[in-house]
Each structure stands twice: as structure tokens, then as C-alpha cells.
Structure 1
Amino acid sequence: EENEVNILWATHQTHHSSEDYNLSTALRQSAVQKYISWVFYLPMALIIPPSVCAVHLQFNLLYQFWIHTEVIDNLGPLEWILNTPSHHRVHHGRNLYCIDKNYGGTLIIWDRIFGTFEAEKEKVIYGLTHPINTFEPFKVQLHHFTYIWGVFWATPGFSNKLSVIFKGPGWGPGKPRLGLSEEIPVITGKEVPFNPKLPVHLCVYAVIHFSLIVTLYIDLFAAAATLSQVTVLLRIGYIILTLTSMGLLMDKRPEAARWETVRCTVFLALQKLGYIKTYPPMMFAYEVLFSLCIVFWGVQIMKQLTSSTAKRL
């Protein structure tokens, strides 16, 4: 299972990194997981007709979307057969009793058969055992790969290096395959999810700009067949830039002001050069909005520089 093999966990941990548990958690996926997940479906694909396999994959994925919720408590007798919201909450927990439990996608019977089932008990605390405390997308996506890279080179012996990759995330020389349970941080039940409080005006700002980027994302897919490769690449690059900058803003990082200035400037440049097109009235509105944003963030940068200079003096 992905949770028990370090390199596979690196591709899956993004999904588990959310410290909240709702339907948006189901959409929190790794950019590289699709290059690994085919391994799990290969045996089925070799036996079952392709059309049946394709339909199964879609229904299996759709089913798992709806179980990412705290709204549904208990489904009665169905809890014995299906992977329910209650069971999957355990799978997403970082409480000690939740670790490496309830792997099933649609059915929970396999966990009951193979001894990996655990019923929901005390309040589940969600997220990674060692929270990364950031919304910056590259770190959320890739931080465990960098961790494996560091441990791989720091661990002596070729067989031990292979174990770093293919044993559990908590493994180390002399430890069991899945690591030691006593090394997992103790959960008190009072943990608060990482959520830096932003001023109301920045929350409104983030909602507006995220809505704009979602619109651009939808338009990109709708018109991809008619766009040049350069246009597609530039729009994708701008979307990634926006997500990165918004992550820094959500983290309340001081460099967010510089990133937002660059991002807003890039948007205006792409619009002027014709790589982002919309209705003429909206183009004017975008020019006004993003120009005002550049001014706002420029003022924030000047304040930071003034404050930094005052501290040095």
C-alpha cells in the first residue's frame, strides 16, 4: 500500500497533508501520483476487459470523493461492507490508532480480512504525523521527495539505501519495516490546524484572484485545441505562478508582496501580448484591477524595506 512504501508515500502524502477533512480534501492530489498508481491496477487490467476496467476505475474514484466528509456519522450495517466516511476519517488521521489503517477504496472487507481495519474511536486529528505548516504548493507536493533524497545519501550501506526507498516512511537502520510507533508524535486532541489568520481585505483579495485563475483554468481546457503550444504553456506557467504566490500569501510570508507584484505584472503582459484574451470590457476591468494590485503590493514592499532599514539603524 502507498502508505507503507516510502517512495509511494512521497507520491500520496499530498492527499493526506490537509489538516481539515471535507470534500476539497478529495481533490488535494499529488501531481506525480498518476505515474505510480497504474501499478495497483495492472493485475486487473491484464484480466478484465478494458472497457469494464475503465468504468470500474471511474466509479471507484467517484465513490471515494464523497467519503471525504465529517457530515456523515454512521451508516449502520453498511459499515461492515463499504468504506464509509467514518472508516476513511481514520485512514486520514495522525492519531496513533489511525496510522496504516483502513486502506480500502470502496470496500472495507479487505481491511477486515487482512487485519488493517480500525473503527473510529476518539476524535480524529487529520494531516501528516509531522505537519509541514505551509500552503506553498511546491513544498506540499515535493517535500517528502527531498526528505527521501537527504536520508538516502545519509544512510550507509547499499541495502539500507534501498530500504530507505522501499520500506516504510518511518524506517531506519535497526528499526522494523514500518518504523517505531513510539517515534510518532503524541496527539493530545487539542491540536489546531495550520491556518494563519489573514486580514479580511486579503481574504477577499485571495478569493477574487483564485476565482479568476479558476476561470482561466476552465477556459484553457475548453479552448486548448485552438490555442498554440506557446499560449498553453504560458497560461499553465501563469497558473502555477498564481498558486505559488497565493500559497505564500496564505502562509503570511513577507516575500508574498514581491511574488504578487511579479504575478500581476506578468498577467498584464500576457494580456497585452494576446496570450490571455477575454471580452473587451473585461480586459479593461482586468487592467484596472491588476494595475491597482501592483500599486498596492509596491506600497507593501516599500513598507517592508523601510521597516528593515529602521531595524538595521
Structure 2
Amino acid sequence: MENEVDAVHPGYGFLSERADFAQACTDAGVRFIGPTPEVVRKMGDKVEARAIAISAGVPVVPGTDSPITCVTEAKEFSNKYGFPIIFKAAYGGGGRGMRVVRSYEELEENYTRAYSEALSAFGNGALFVEKFIEKPRHIEVQILGDKHGNVIHLYERDCSIQRRHQKVVEIAPAAQLNPQLRDRLTHDSVKLAKQVGYENAGTVEFLVDKNGKHYFIEVNSRLQVEHTVTEEITDVDLVHAQIHVAEGKSLPELGLKQENIRINGCAIQCRVTTEDPARGFQPDTGRIEKD
């Protein structure tokens, strides 16, 4: 408070999805430029977010309704739905705490590893189980809400090119996406956001299977690294909008009505990492030089 800070933008790092940090800002009289602490908490809990999606009528991948407590529960799930299945961290994302299991023999080891990864990354090893969708497209929809109940979408990004469940290339808009599927994805994203009274920027993520069916997987209640490709194709400055929404302005006041949001062109973002793709993306070192 000695610096008279009146607002905090958490960026897209770990603090951006910490409900306790958002609450601490609010308690200190500092605006948190993002969703309310309660919404951050609900969306950060993957099991609760899934339940909210179901209540909103948004399709989800078959999975457990609450975190599992032992590997026996995972075995019971696989007996019902068959393999492959996937363990996921209940309170985190970014590819950590995720393990695909294709047989009973792999269950115990992968359960233990997923639990350890989740505990190390998020301070909580709780896991839930889902049916694993083979070779899906990973499509996410950018949403933006205000304090007056208005929610719009800014179309989608295709994040299917990944390694270790982490994004490598993001493309906006998604190429060769069926227009009817696009409408269903964006409609369900806005519907889900309104279900929880979502305000500020966020991303609703889906898997799309080979038959064109889409399944909700999570909401990232923050600005994402790849938000810039959406800005490029819609000509909307998302950070600018975030700040004004936090100040209490409505989306219509900012000129952001759904009918005004149009796709113009295509944008691609590639993440540069110090890894060697020829060796299974193992960590690597070296110099970046210009020829």
C-alpha cells in the first residue's frame, strides 16, 4: 500500500489462477484484474468445473465426479469405461500430473507418478480419472465477460500440436473447422461463463473427437500466453479490455458486442523452448545464433 497500487494484473503466470492471491488483493482494497476469487476457485477445481459444465448442459468426457482416493477406484472406472484412461491433477494443469493408462498393468505405477507430479507442482496430489480421447483436436474458445452479466466470445484457437500435454503451436482461427461445430463450441463457452457469472478474460477448453463431438475439459480463468493470436485476428486488445472491465465498464461501452467481433485473417504462435525435438524434446542447452 505504500506505493498506492490500486490494481494488479497477474499476467499469465501461476498467481493468475490462485484464488487466495485474488482474495488477498481484494481484501487489501486492490482490484484484481481477472475473475472474482470465487470464480477462480471454482474453475481451478477441475472436478467442480466439470460439475458446473454438466449443470449448464455442456458435454463432458466420461470421468469421476470427485477426486479418487486410491488406485482401486481407477480400476473400477476402467472396468466400466475401458482403456485408455487418463489421470489428471484435480487442482492444476499445464500437462503436470497427467498420465495416460492403456492397461491394468500400468495402473498402479501411473497413479503413483501422477499423484507425485501433482503434489510437487500444485501442493495437492488429488487426481480424477477420465476416458482418454484418442488423437483429438484441442480447441479453446476465448471469452470475455463484464460485471454487468454480458459475455462474448472471440472465436477459437487450435492448440492440438502439443508434447507432454503442453502446447507448442497455437493457431487462430482453427483451420477447416466445421461452421456448425464452431457455433456449438462458442455457444457452450458463453453458456458456461454465464452459468458462473464470469467476468474478465478466460478460456474454455474442449477436446473434439474424430466424429466431430466436443467435450469440455477445463476453464483457464486468466489471460493465456497465446492470447495474442486472438488479438491479431479480431483486432481486440484483450489486456486493454481486461483493465476497463475491472474498472466496471460494460462490454457495450467498450464497443465489444458479439455482432461486432469478426475473424480477419489467420495468426500462428510457436513457443520457443530449450529442448531437442530429435531426442524426444529432452531439455537442451546452447546458443541461439543468426545465420
Q: Same fold (TM over 0.5)?
A: no
TM-score normalized with structure 2 length: 0.24
Greater Rg by CA: 1
Which structure is richer in relative contact order (CA contacts within 8 A, separation 6 or more)?
Answer: 2
The structure with the largest strand share of the pair is 2
TM-score normalized with structure 1 length: 0.23
